[in-house]
């Protein structure tokens, strides 16, 4: 359809309507397909920018009307809105492309885009992200070089939610701006699966998994794995476990609903395993329970937030091992697991500490389920006169 319709074209439209040959229809209530939106470009802008946007999709049809005794009228009106704000200068280039101009007054946030055309209305959710103006380039202070809130003053702090930072706060332990934004969501309906952070493999993977796995270095050293997803749905019939040598961070760039079970606990049941990031190297010097020095003594419990309990005395008052020392300061960084208990005097191993799990959600978090990073008790004595192992200390949940 040309941008300007002359009289000759209108006469042709009238003939085509009369013959039923016009693909985009002639009657007000004709059965024409509604438009659809596939993508927009750009999908992210800074507040106050006035730039063109290209909208691609299907069925961006105009529509011809012919009433008795009147000439054909062609409706080419398209209205494009971001949230409640109408875009300017909307032009239809083809059945699959519109262009419009983004105004300066769209507030920061993630917005749906709606197209209203002659044949119907369609909406693409989360189509455009508007960043606050005059903000930083990242989510960590080390890369912070911008101005706060458009004030024009550089600072050494962090402007959460600004350019380069997709979260409205500054997360602990990782910089979300350094991770490629996830494009898939995760729906674990009816799923029972597990992730091994040692080799980045899934046990019993299910079709709804949409996580991308990124290795990171934690503040102060040590590795972790970030599992990023756009949205997360964990119904009450679903369970996901995390085990292996490295802590795990679930980074949800949208909304999360957790009605099921998330486990980073250690276990002796079925397949003995340690929760993700349990028993970190620091436990060898601080936090691990001491083994019993006499056969009948029990191993000391692992320490973390508080000191671990001393192992019980055995026959002949054989002393148990000392409990592990607490950490010097409880802080969210670095993410780390709990410490193991000491071995019993007869060699019974102590239990592993709990794992290390962080759940960080940029949008809305609905939590009605269960999340655990508990430790496991030590094994019992090898015979009636030998001491059992000490229990591990609970892990860290953020």
Q: Residue 91: which CATH number?
A: 2.60.40.10
Burial of 269 (0-12, 13-18, 19+ CB in 10 A): exposed
Look up residue 49 and give its two tokens. Answer: 């920018």
Q: How far is CA 22 from the centre of its chain?
A: 47
**142 and 122, same domain (yes or no):** no
- For residue 139, the model assigns a pLDDT of 61
**231 and 199, same domain (yes or no):** yes
Does any domain span residue 158?
yes
**148 and 213, same domain (yes or no):** no
Does any domain span residue 1?
no
9: phi then psi, degrees, rounded to nearest 5: -65, -40
Domain end call among 115, 131, 147? 131
**291 and 328, same domain (yes or no):** yes
**158 and 190, same domain (yes or no):** no
Query: Beta-carbon neighbour count of residue 127 at 10 Å?
Result: 18
Q: How far is CA 394 from the centre of its chain?
A: 25
Look up residue 282 and give its two tokens. Answer: 């620091």
Domain that includes residue 285, residue range: 166-398
Does any domain span residue 281?
yes
The C-alpha atoms of residue 166 and residue 137 are separated, in whole angstroms, by: 11
Task: Find, among 262, 244, 257, 259, the residue nearest to 358 by Cα.
Answer: 262
CB 64 within 8 A of CB 25: yes
3-class secondary-structure state, position 11: helix
Does any domain span residue 209?
yes
Domain end call among 131, 152, 184? 131
- DSSP run (H or E) holding 46: strand 44-46
- DSSP run (H or E) holding 361: strand 356-361
The C-alpha atoms of residue 288 and residue 283 are separated, in whole angstroms, by: 5
Does any domain span residue 320?
yes
**160 and 49, same domain (yes or no):** no
**302 and 188, same domain (yes or no):** yes
The C-alpha atoms of residue 306 and residue 326 are separated, in whole angstroms, by: 5
Q: What is the pLDDT along the chain (398 residues), one digit of tens a residue?
A: 444 444 455 445 545 554 454 444 454 444 678 999 999 999 888 778 789 999 999 999 887 766 666 676 778 899 999 988 999 999 999 989 999 999 988 887 788 999 999 889 999 998 998 876 655 555 655 444 444 443 334 455 555 545 456 777 778 999 887 788 888 999 999 999 999 999 999 999 999 999 999 999 998 889 999 999 999 999 999 999 999 999 999 999 889 999 999 999 998 764 557 899 999 999 998 888 888 888 888 888 889 989 989 988 888 788 888 988 998 677 888 999 999 999 988 888 888 999 999 999 988 999 999 999 999 888 888 888 888 888 889 999 99
Does any domain span residue 358?
yes
Residue 246's alpha-carbon distances to 152, 213, 252, 284, 351, in angstroms, are: 41, 12, 19, 16, 18
Alpha helix stretches (DSSP H) within 129-230: none
**223 and 156, same domain (yes or no):** no
- For residue 150, the model assigns a pLDDT of 38
The C-alpha atoms of residue 334 and residue 223 are separated, in whole angstroms, by: 10
Residue with tokens 């004709």: 30
- For residue 108, the model assigns a pLDDT of 75
**61 and 195, same domain (yes or no):** no
Residue 297's alpha-carbon distances to 255, 288, 340, in angstroms, are: 50, 17, 17
**124 and 143, same domain (yes or no):** no
| Overall domain count for the chain | 3
Look up residue 170 and give its two tokens. Answer: 């500054």
Biggest distance spanned by C-alpha atoms of the chain:
114
Contacts of 31 (CB under 8 A, 6+ apart): none
The C-alpha atoms of residue 336 and residue 332 are separated, in whole angstroms, by: 9
Look up residue 286 and give its two tokens. Answer: 């601080």
Sign of CA dihedral 285, 280, 175, 108: negative
Does any domain span residue 225?
yes
**141 and 184, same domain (yes or no):** no
Does any domain span residue 2?
no
**143 and 115, same domain (yes or no):** no
Task: Find, among 125, 108, 207, 214, the residue nearest to 166 by Cα.
Answer: 108
The C-alpha atoms of residue 330 and residue 321 are separated, in whole angstroms, by: 24
The sheet with strand 212-217 has its strands ordered as: 212-217, 223-229, 248-252, 356-361, 396-397
């Amino acid at each position: 359809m040309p941008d300007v319709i002359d009289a000759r074209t209108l006469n042709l439209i009238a003939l085509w309507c009369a013959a039923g040959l016009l693909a985009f229809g002639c009657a007000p209530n004709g059965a024409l397909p509604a438009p659809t939106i596939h993508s927009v470009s750009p999908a992210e802008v800074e507040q106050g920018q006035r730039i063109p946007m290209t909208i691609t999709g299907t069925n961006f049809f105009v529509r011809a009307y012919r009433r008795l005794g009147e000439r054909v009228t062609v409706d080419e009106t398209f209205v494009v809105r971001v949230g409640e704000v109408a875009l300017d200068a909307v032009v239809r280039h083809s059945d699959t492309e519109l262009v419009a101009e983004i105004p300066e007054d769209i507030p920061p946030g993630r917005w749906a885009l709606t197209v209203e055309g002659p044949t119907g209305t369609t909406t693409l959710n989360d189509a455009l992200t508007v960043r606050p103006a005059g903000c930083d380039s990242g989510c960590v202070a080390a890369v912070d070089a911008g101005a706060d809130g458009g004030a024009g003053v550089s600072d050494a702090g962090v402007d959460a939610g600004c350019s380069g930072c997709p979260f409205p706060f500054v997360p602990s332990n990782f910089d979300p701006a350094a991770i490629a934004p996830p494009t898939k969501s995760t729906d674990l309906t009816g799923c029972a699966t597990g992730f091994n952070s040692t080799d980045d493999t899934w046990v019993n993977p299910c079709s709804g998994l949409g996580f991308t796995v990124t290795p990171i270095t934690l503040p102060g050293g040590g590795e972790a794995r970030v599992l990023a997803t756009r949205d997360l749905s964990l119904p009450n019939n679903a369970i996901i476990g995390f085990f292996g040598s490295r802590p795990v961070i679930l980074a949800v760039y949208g909304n999360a609903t957790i009605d099921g079970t998330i486990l980073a606990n250690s276990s002796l049941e079925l397949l003995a395993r340690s929760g993700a990031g349990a028993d970190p190297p620091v436990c060898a010097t601080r936090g691990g329970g001491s083994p019993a020095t006499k056969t009948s003594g029990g191993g000391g419990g692992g320490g973390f937030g508080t000191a671990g309990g001393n192992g019980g005395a055995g026959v002949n008052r054989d002393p148990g091992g000392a409990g592990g020392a607490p950490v010097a300061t409880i802080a969210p960084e670095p993410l780390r697991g709990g410490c193991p208990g000491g071995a019993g005097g007869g060699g019974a191993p102590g239990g592993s500490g709990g794992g290390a799990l962080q759940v960080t959600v940029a949008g809305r978090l609905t939590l009605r389920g269960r999340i655990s990073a508990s430790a496991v008790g030590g094994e019992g004595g090898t015979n009636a006169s030998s001491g059992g192992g000490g229990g591990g200390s609970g892990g860290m949940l953020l």
